[in-house]
Amino acid sequence: MSAPIDWHARAASLSLNGQAFIGGRYVPALSGKRLDCVNPATGKVLTQLAACDAEDVDQAVKVARVAFEAGSWSRMAPRERKKRLKAFAALIAGHTEELALLETLDMGKPIRDSLAVDLPLSAQCIDWYAEAIDKVYDEIAPTAPSAVSLIRREPLGVVAAVVPWNFPLLMAAWKLGPILAAGNSVILKPAEQSSLTAIRLGALASEAGIPDGVFNVLPGLGETAGQALGLHMDIDAVAFTGSTEVGKYFLQYSGRSNMKRVGLECGGKSPNIILADAPDLDAAATSAAWGIFYNQGEVCNAGSRLVVEESVKDRVVEKVIEVGGAIKVGDPLDPATEMGAMVDAGQTERVMGYIEKGVAEGAKLRLGGKRIAADGCFIETTLFDDVTSDMTIAREEIFGPVLATLAAKDIDDAIKIGNDTTYGLAAAVWTRDINKAFKVSSALRAGVVWVNCFDHGDISSPFGGFKQSGFGRDKSLHALEKYTELKATWIHLG
């Protein structure tokens, strides 16, 4: 057996690049401005990032547009794009340990999760779209014989992908796979807290043979770089994942500029409904614990509202407390760690504020609730019982390891509570009755409803929201719809 990896030693010898990647080259921001890139587990500055703004955005859009018009990617045979995208995916997989380490250092998630989840799923996503793109056929309309109408999908042009910090590489991959497969040029803006893996992708894309200017990365702040992308007159679409608040800004940016297409994957407050006839209550409760505590609770579809039928609620809560209380929180570079650091001090404060509010509004704190070490970014796994739908912790997305438990009188009450939210990203129901499973999953207004599991998925199955969780879908062939225009070519036959 090979010796275990000493991640601290690896981290100490890692060379970090914080520059932008434009036109196939690493460059500083034109203004020369830089931002600190901080490791939330230690509070130490890892490196400096190029603080890109409107000028850099302009520059990146110009080169992306030139590349698109030149056709070196956009008009390449799908089979050739496939080859290069598969090479890109293979390079990501081949750099798993390096990229996993960057991800963990940058945003605090456990190294075991970066290695086991973020990296393989990111590489698999790019590979899946590569494999798909030379098998997607266009259409011919059933017109009268006097004409042929060819209905084709064409790439949009220049697409901006603006992504969050909770799964930096994976959320980028969900955008990049279909954007690039469809033949677009792309400008990726990572979150200011988590830019390192995105930046590293630039060199890997070049190495894979993706032409210069087709794939660009701009680190920088949302209010500067992000806004400039949203308002740019020569960007054809924005693919956004992040908060509902910022998603709404992108709709406004579009209306104030060139009516660019906007796809929004936003926040959630997902109900995880456990009915009394669940096939295995302990399994359901264990899954409910991981459904909120995985990735420090910084998951858009986290099962943050546990809705349990009254007769079994106490038993379920006891089990969630047992499982949640045993989760090992600490140093993200320790392979035994199961929950790492919150992404930064600001998010830590925000989550602690919600915990205080939960107590103040009368919910019963049954597990955790405290910071681990007063000045660090670590929070205990936390569970509230006796929560009601009017409480802040049942309504707002906390984006931390805080579970709100609500009791439901019966199945109809569970559905009512489940839908009592402005969000609609995901939901789950646990029952052994197929009729109940279908009734609940049909009634819940959410983009994905899991039955007898939580947070399962596959790249072939679409993901995205109803209501204020956004619109448009990531993953599956449906994602290609966001990054292509339909063109009908009507040929009159003489």
Binding site for Mg ion (CB under 5 A): 106, 193
Q: Which of 192, 236, 344, 455 binds ligand NAP (CB under 6 A)?
A: 192
Which residues are CB-contacts of 379 (< 8 A; sequence separation ≥ 6)?
296, 329, 342, 348, 351, 352, 368, 370, 371, 372, 400, 401
Interhelix angle 96-107/119-133, rounded to 10 degrees, is: 120
Q: Which of 63, 125, 300, 406 binds ligand NAP (CB under 6 A)?
A: 300
Per annotation, catalytic residue among 265, 298, 309, 397: 265
Active site residue 125: no
Nearer residue to ligand NAP within complex by CB, 385 or 397:
397
Per annotation, catalytic residue among 52, 266, 300, 377: 300
- Which of 248, 292, 299, 303 has its CA nearest to residue 470? 248
Name the minimum Å distance from CB 460 to Mg ion: 32
Going residue by residue from 451 to 490, which x/- string records binding to ligand NAP, judged by CB under 6 A? --------------x---x---------------------
> Which residue's CB comes closest to Mg ion?
106
Rounded to whole angstroms, the Cα distance separating 117 from 464 reads 19
CB atoms within 10 A of CB 395: 15
Residue 226 interface partner, choices Mg ion, ligand NAP, none, CB cut-off 5-8 Å depending on type? ligand NAP
Active site residue 265: yes
Q: How many residues bind ligand NAP (CB under 6 A)?
A: 30
Check residue 254 for interaction with ligand NAP (CB under 6 A). no
Nearer residue to ligand NAP within complex by CB, 265 or 309:
265
Q: Specify whether the CB–CB gap between 224 and 51 falls below 8 A.
A: yes
Local structure of residue 115 (DSSP, 8 states): I
Q: How far, in whole angstroms, is CA 89 from its chain's centroid?
A: 18
Check residue 267 for interaction with ligand NAP (CB under 6 A). yes
Check residue 176 for interaction with ligand NAP (CB under 6 A). no
Binding piece for ligand NAP, criterion CB under 6 A, among 6-14, 37-45, 218-226, 454-462: 218-226
Near ligand NAP in 91-110, by CB under 6 A: none
Check residue 400 for interaction with ligand NAP (CB under 6 A). no
Near ligand NAP in 135-174, by CB under 6 A: 162-166, 171
Residue 398 interface partner, choices Mg ion, ligand NAP, none, CB cut-off 5-8 Å depending on type? none
Phi, psi of 236 (to 5 degrees): -85, -25
Rounded to whole angstroms, the Cα distance separating 448 from 428 reads 8
Residue 241 interface partner, choices ligand NAP, Mg ion, none, CB cut-off 5-8 Å depending on type? ligand NAP
Q: Which of 227, 270, 295, 476 binds ligand NAP (CB under 6 A)?
A: 227
Interhelix angle 310-325/281-293, rounded to 10 degrees, is: 50
Which residues are CB-contacts of 298 (< 8 A; sequence separation ≥ 6)?
165, 166, 342, 343, 347, 399, 400
Check residue 223 for interaction with ligand NAP (CB under 6 A). yes
Name the minimum Å distance from CB 302 to ligand NAP: 8
The 10 Å CB-count burial string (b at 16+, else e) for 430-458 is: bbeeeebbebbbebbbbbbbbebebbeee
Q: Specify whether the CB–CB gap between 380 and 328 falls below 8 A.
A: no
Q: Specify whether the CB–CB gap between 441 and 449 falls below 8 A.
A: yes
Cα angle value 65/71/77 (rounded, 5°): 140
Q: Which of 14, 30, 117, 221 binds ligand NAP (CB under 6 A)?
A: 221
Check residue 241 for interaction with ligand NAP (CB under 6 A). yes
Sheet strands (E) in 207-298: 215-217, 237-241, 261-265, 271-274
Q: Which of 40, 211, 268, 401 binds ligand NAP (CB under 6 A)?
A: 268
Check residue 423 for interaction with ligand NAP (CB under 6 A). no
Check residue 230 for interaction with ligand NAP (CB under 6 A). yes
Check residue 226 for interaction with ligand NAP (CB under 6 A). yes
Cα angle value 415/420/421 (rounded, 5°): 130
Residue located via tokens 């807290």: 193
* Interacting residues toward ligand NAP by CB under 6 A: 162-166, 171, 189, 191-192, 221-223, 226-227, 230, 241-243, 246, 249, 265-268, 300, 397, 399, 425, 465, 469
Give the active site residues.
Answer: 265, 300
